Structure 1
């Protein structure tokens, strides 16, 4: 059998009743290309920083409607080829928005609503020149 690299172009793992943490192995370079959808499961824990390794491969990331917590990893700012969307809505993600998200200049949609994000929108996000849709929880400046 011919040994060739296998690349998954659309990984739809939504609505599968998965539980537990997202495996960091999904961030192995070359494992995924295109879109990753793990929405509407029962995933817990944090978003793996290893997703940053998919910088030249991932076009869209959907982790909405889970029970993810922790902060948005700054490594998501490395995903500069994202042309679709990042949807992290309906989780319990907390903390402030990483300034590195401003590097996602080709991103069209960023959905972060229904999370526990606080602080203000970083000025670096003005660099997201392709952004057409932005859903964020009501952010406030903490004194």
Structure 2
């Protein structure tokens, strides 16, 4: 089920529950601004999700409402996860889905970090 990115934040979404410790995860990284953990249904040998700790539905919501400190902290966390996992070489892909056309499934901003194999073209024709 895709998410309408214009809807208000739902604090019962799975990532909100993970942030509250109600659902376990395999944490890769955590700081004041972000939590990174392994995806439970990986689409590549390495598939990590990085989520901000604030209540943001999507990238548009986050970029409009988050403080400069939150934005910088989150972006730095994504880069740190990639470096810490040794993904800078040979490379990795970041993906953030927003709204129904992109098939965003969880109404909490999340960045997919894919790596560990050649990933092919970004979009199929």
TM-score exceeds 0.5: no
The answer to which structure has the higher helix fraction is 2
TM-score relative to the length of structure 2? 0.30
Higher relative contact order (CA 8 A, sep 6+): 2
TM-score relative to the length of structure 1? 0.27
Select the structure of larger CA radius of gyration.
Answer: 1
